[in-house]
């Protein structure tokens, strides 16, 4: 019997079987940030123990950093305190920190891959549910709570029960204007926000293979939005090309050895999955959400469903100020946010810039573009993307999680509609009373220009 990609990686990291279903799992890479780590460091301090492996631990400040004037002290006192605590904790325990002002600073799930810290075959954890992003490289990566952050800091291990295996196959060719964000929003709309619960998902098929690494990261990133423990994609030439030459990627003979191992990371022909789905790329269009969880999505030219047919839709529509059976096309919007660990990489910014070049945003819409990292920010400036954004009336900011969760000043006001390239449209996610419409960077850019929800495909012919 063959093994799945997931099983190959997981099984190579089992330190001990503890009994029915529970295993001690070794963690290769631990990313930490300011929000979910202070109580964990406190725990180590109380026990008087060090970080088990500082070389495998990397920290950055991202969740509540401001996205303007990062060279100045953080104004908001609680945010400043939390970021200061991270700095102190990292200094005390000897953990490398990419803090504000550091050239490697950025959203934790953007910097790991761009620095080559994320590599095929690894187990990766972080106190953040979007850790599944790293699965795009063929890793077993998942989000953990703060107690588990403490466990990994203390022992480089976690007690885990092994999830079930799911494979989602997307075959075919994507239509013009349809991005990987649309693929994952489409999948979640079919499987619902809990359809992946208990599973680790492998994304496969010709449509997935044709995607860039950045596009693959967008898909794996949102695995948690269908409740899955994580998502991963088998590494291939696209992965290896992306990694080669990155600062922490192996080089020389070590590269050749790594490559030999990485090429063994795929699901065997006869591997068995506990559940399997098949979708056609041709059926997927530009997606938008209409409700208050990421499963409440539709292809942009469809109508909102009848509230009686789906549980929770009526409550969601009341919050969103939308009507059942209403068209999403033409829905007026107030804000556009392009950023977050889902869609803030250089490729996302290039797509947006390419679309808006020579165009101007609708006068009633406020648009901000928040790069995923300092490196993305510099690259965008080097390519002149910032000038294109400025000419279109888009504000180009400094890196951080920003309006994805509104822990800093970047909040959407009550009742306002925001087309967002982020990952969650929960009530109040972008600020109390804010109404989030999730979409791809292209659909968001088109909405910014039109001032309402439009079908980006009609602009591309």
The least distance separating other proteins from the CB of residue 370, rounded to whole angstroms, comes to 16
The least distance separating other proteins from the CB of residue 413, rounded to whole angstroms, comes to 11
Structure tokens at 291: 């409700």
How far apart, in whole angstroms, are the C-alpha atoms of residue 345 and residue 336? 17
Question: In this complex, which beta carbon is closest to other proteins, that of residue 171 or of residue 409?
Answer: 409
The least distance separating other proteins from the CB of residue 145, rounded to whole angstroms, comes to 4
How far apart, in whole angstroms, are the C-alpha atoms of residue 119 and residue 262? 9
Question: In this complex, which beta carbon is closest to other proteins, that of residue 341 or of residue 447?
Answer: 341
Question: In this complex, which beta carbon is closest to other proteins, that of residue 119 or of residue 345?
Answer: 119
How far apart, in whole angstroms, are the C-alpha atoms of residue 206 and residue 173? 8
Question: In this complex, which beta carbon is closest to other proteins, that of residue 78 or of residue 390?
Answer: 78
The least distance separating other proteins from the CB of residue 433, rounded to whole angstroms, comes to 7
The least distance separating other proteins from the CB of residue 18, rounded to whole angstroms, comes to 6
The least distance separating other proteins from the CB of residue 119, rounded to whole angstroms, comes to 6
Question: In this complex, which beta carbon is closest to other proteins, that of residue 404 or of residue 454?
Answer: 404
Question: In this complex, which beta carbon is closest to other proteins, that of residue 9 or of residue 170?
Answer: 9
Question: In this complex, which beta carbon is closest to other proteins, that of residue 13 or of residue 361?
Answer: 13
Question: In this complex, which beta carbon is closest to other proteins, that of residue 57 or of residue 293?
Answer: 293
The least distance separating other proteins from the CB of residue 377, rounded to whole angstroms, comes to 23
The least distance separating other proteins from the CB of residue 73, rounded to whole angstroms, comes to 16
The least distance separating other proteins from the CB of residue 358, rounded to whole angstroms, comes to 37
Question: In this complex, which beta carbon is closest to other proteins, that of residue 224 or of residue 392?
Answer: 224
Question: In this complex, which beta carbon is closest to other proteins, that of residue 176 or of residue 414?
Answer: 414
The least distance separating other proteins from the CB of residue 40, rounded to whole angstroms, comes to 9
- Cβ atoms within 10 Å, residue 247: 9
Contact status, residue 297 vs residue 275, Cβ threshold 8 Å: no
């Amino acid at each position: 019997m063959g093994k799945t990609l997931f099983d190959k990686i997981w099984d190579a990291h089992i330190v001990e079987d503890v009994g029915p279903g529970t295993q001690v799992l070794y963690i290769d890479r631990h990313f930490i940030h300011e929000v979910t780590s202070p109580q964990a460091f406190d725990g180590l301090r109380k026990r008087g123990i060090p970080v088990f492996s500082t070389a495998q631990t990397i920290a950055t400040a991202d969740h509540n950093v401001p996205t303007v004037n990062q060279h100045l002290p953080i104004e908001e006192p609680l945010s400043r305190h939390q970021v200061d605590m991270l700095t102190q904790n990292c200094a005390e325990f000897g953990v490398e920190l990419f803090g504000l002002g550091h050239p490697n600073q950025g959203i934790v799930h953007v910097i790991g891959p761009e620095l080559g810290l994320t590599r095929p075959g690894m187990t990766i954890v972080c106190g953040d549910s979007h850790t599944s992003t790293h699965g795009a490289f063929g890793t077993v990566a998942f989000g953990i709570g703060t107690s588990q952050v403490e466990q990994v800091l203390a022992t480089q291990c976690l007690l885990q029960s092994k999830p079930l295996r799911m494979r989602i196959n997307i075959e075919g060719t994507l239509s013009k204007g349809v991005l990987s964000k649309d693929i994952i929003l489409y999948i979640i709309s079919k499987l619902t926000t809990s359809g992946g619960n208990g599973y680790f998902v492998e994304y496969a098929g010709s449509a997935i293979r044709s995607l860039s690494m950045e596009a693959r990261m967008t898909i794996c990133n949102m695995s948690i939005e269908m409740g899955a423990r994580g998502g991963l994609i088998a590494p291939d030439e696209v992965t290896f090309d992306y990694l080669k030459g990155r600062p922490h990627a192996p080089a020389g003979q070590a590269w050749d050895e790594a490559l030999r191992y990485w090429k063994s990371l795929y699901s065997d022909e006869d591997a068995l999955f506990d559940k399997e789905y098949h979708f056609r790329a041709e059926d997927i269009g530009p997606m938008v959400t209409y409700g208050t969880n990421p499963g409440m999505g539709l292809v942009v030219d469809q109508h909102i469903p009848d509230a009686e047919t789906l549980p929770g839709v009526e409550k969601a529509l009341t919050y969103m100020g939308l009507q059942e059976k209403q068209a999403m096309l033409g829905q007026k919007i107030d804000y556009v946010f392009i950023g977050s660990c889902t869609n803030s990489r250089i490729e996302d910014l290039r797509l947006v810039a390419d679309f808006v070049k020579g165009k101007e945003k609708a006068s009633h819409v406020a648009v901000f573009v928040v790069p995923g990292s300092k490196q993305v920010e510099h690259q965008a400036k080097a390519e002149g993307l910032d000038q294109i954004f400025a000419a279109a009336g888009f504000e180009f900011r400094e890196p951080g999680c920003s309006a994805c969760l509104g822990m800093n000043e970047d909040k959407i006001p009550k009742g306002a509609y925001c087309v967002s390239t982020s990952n969650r449209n929960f009530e109040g996610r972008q600020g109390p009373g804010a109404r989030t419409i999730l979409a791809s960077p292209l659909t968001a850019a088109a909405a910014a220009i039109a001032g309402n929800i439009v079908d980006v495909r009609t602009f591309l012919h």
